[in-house]
Amino acid sequence: MKVRKAVIPAAGLGTRFLPATKAVPKEMLPLIDTPSIQLVVEEAVRAGLTDILIVTARGKGAIEDHFDRAPEYEALLEARGKFDELKQIRELSDLAQIHTVRQHEALGLGHAIGVAEAHVSGEPFAVLLGDDLIHPSVPLLREMLRVHEQYGRSVLAAQEIARSEISAYGVITPEMIEDNLARVRSVVEKPAADEAPSNLAAIGRYVFTPEIFDSLRETKPGYGGEIQITDAINLLAREQAVYAYTFEQGRYDAGNKLDYLKATVEFAVERDDLGPAFSAWLAEFVQRKKLL
């Protein structure tokens, strides 16, 4: 069955970006002028997924408002003749069919995905985590959907990670079957570097068969006392093949302050309206710092 729906878990507190996230959802923190969650939605749309469920929590109303119509802004922009800005905010509400549902308790990513079961309605679906931003030039999700269509099974995105950072990820025991594609034998959540089965980590893009919900129901609280999606994937892999699609470049951890800054700079340099002037200033800034 062709994948039509995407789920974006957005219920986390964003403690790595306090104090900014005390009052502002972490998913609304912008790269220049675009909230990170908008970039994730646009990625899903580019891959052909326009039925999107965002799993939110208390205090996340700004996310829903962002994708809604804003008549007061539209009237003001039209009256002032700012038609480019008017077109931009109107297009937000037409990007996709955006639905929201709340995760009432912070019980982990696996639990947040489980909240989407009724909306998914027995179909395969994609999951996109907002902390992982993928550069628009990298067709990662489209390639994962292609693998799913070929094999009819779940697909994880995977990337080689430095051993020094591996304890922050779900780590895969892979069985390579072709270039960029492995069968997942197991996944372990946040292992110590010397205990990790490989340096191949699951990154925040998934395509799941609906049987993942059966596995989630069987999953007991694991690492951190939460329902871990990695534990559910291990259960699923016992019943049917699960694949990992590997990629190398174009990913930013938007929950990491350094990666967030890198993404902001790279996206700014590439923009027609900012790139030339910003690049010139950046070169001058780097040269000036070298002289200090």
DSSP string, 205-230: EEEE-TTHHHHHHHPPP-GGGS--HH
Cβ pair 185, 229 in contact under 8 A: no
Please give the pLDDT value at position 222. Answer: 77
CA 211 to mean position of chain CA atoms: 21
Q: How many CB atoms lie within 10 A of CB 77?
A: 19
Please give the pLDDT value at position 157. Answer: 97
- Mean pLDDT in the chain? 92
Condensed to tens digits (0 to 9), the pLDDT of residues 206-263 reads 999 999 999 999 998 877 788 999 999 999 999 999 999 999 999 999 888 999 999 9
Please give the pLDDT value at position 260. Answer: 93
pLDDT of 274 above 90: yes
Percent of the chain with pLDDT over 90: 69
CA 134 to mean position of chain CA atoms: 8
φ, ψ of residue 254 to 5 degrees: the values are -70, -10
As a whole number of angstroms, the distance between CA 43 and CA 63 comes to 17
pLDDT of 5 above 90: yes
Query: What pTM does this model have?
Result: 0.93
Q: How confident is the model at residue 290 (pLDDT cuts 50, 70, 90)?
A: confident
Percent of the chain with pLDDT over 70: 99
Average pLDDT over residues 166-177: 90
Of 163-167, 171-175, 280-284, the range with the lowest mean pLDDT is 163-167
Please give the pLDDT value at position 292. Answer: 62
The encoded tokens of residue 162 equal 């430095």
The encoded tokens of residue 194 equal 């010397």
What's the one-letter identity of residue 289?
K
Superfamily per CATH, domain 5-253: Spore Coat Polysaccharide Biosynthesis Protein SpsA; Chain A (3.90.550.10)
Please give the pLDDT value at position 195. Answer: 85
Please give the pLDDT value at position 13. Answer: 84
**Which sequence spans correspond to the domains of the chain?**
5-253, 256-292
**Residues whose CB is less than 8 angstroms from the CB of residue 217 and which lie 6 or more positions away in sequence, other chains included:** 114
Average pLDDT over residues 194-207: 91
pLDDT of 269 above 80: yes
Average pLDDT over residues 52-69: 92
Nearest to 203 by CA among 133, 138, 143: 133
